Amino acid sequence: MHDLLLDRPPWYVAGALIAFVVVGLMATINERIGVLGGFSQLVERAEGRSSSLGWKAWFLFGVIGGGALYALATGSWGGRASYAWLTDAIGPVGTGLLLVAGGTLIGFGAKTAGGCTSGNGIGGCGVGSRASYVATASFMATAIAATLLVRWLA
C-alpha cells in the first residue's frame, strides 16, 4: 500500500479519479468544481462581505485535508515536493518573493478569468464551456511560453 502510494498512478487512472471528483460534485450537490472560489470565499468572509462560508471553502478545506492524508499515509510530512531549481538559482528569499508575486498574479488573473486550472481547466472544459476553452488555452500557452523563455535565457 505504501509503495503503491509512492509511485505515480497511470495517467488514465489519475484522470478518471479527477473526473470522479468533478462529476461527483455535480451529481451530488449540482456544483462545478473550483478551488480558487474557496480562497475567494475565505477572503470575502474575512472582510465581512459574506456572513458564512459556501461549499467551495469547505471543498478547499477538504483539499488541504487530502494533502495531509497523503502525507500521513506515505510518511512524507513536509512533502516530497521541491523548489530546488529555484532556491539554487535565486536563494530562499528570492524564491519566497517570487512565490508571493506569482500567487498574486494567480489570484487576480484567475478571478478575472472566472477560474483556475480546476474551475476552467477541468471543470469548465469538462462541460464544454467555450469561455473555459479560451481561458485554458490562454493560461497553458502563457505558462509554457514563459517557462521555456526563462529556461532559454538562463
Partner 1 sequence: MIRTAAVAFGVVFGFVLSWTGLADPSFIHKMLSLQTAYPYLLMATSIALTLTATRLLARGHARALLTHEPVRWSTLKPERRHVIGGSMFGLGWAMSSACPGPVAAQLGQGFGWGICTALGIFVGVRIYLRREVARARQQTPGLAAQAP
137 binds partner 1 per the rule CB under 8 A: yes
- Distance in angstroms (rounded) separating the CA atoms of residues 128 and 136: 12
Residue from 51, 88, 89, 108 binding partner 1 (CB under 8 A):
108
Helix (H, G, I), strand (E, B) or coil at 154: coil
89 binds partner 1 per the rule CB under 8 A: no
126 binds partner 1 per the rule CB under 8 A: yes
Residue from 89, 91, 94, 142 binding partner 1 (CB under 8 A):
142
The three cell numbers locating residue 95: 524564491
22 binds partner 1 per the rule CB under 8 A: yes
2 binds partner 1 per the rule CB under 8 A: no
The three cell numbers locating residue 107: 489570484
Nearest to 33 by CA among 22, 17, 47, 49: 22
Q: In whole angstroms, how close is the CB of 94 to partner 1 at the nearest point?
A: 11
The three cell numbers locating residue 116: 483556475
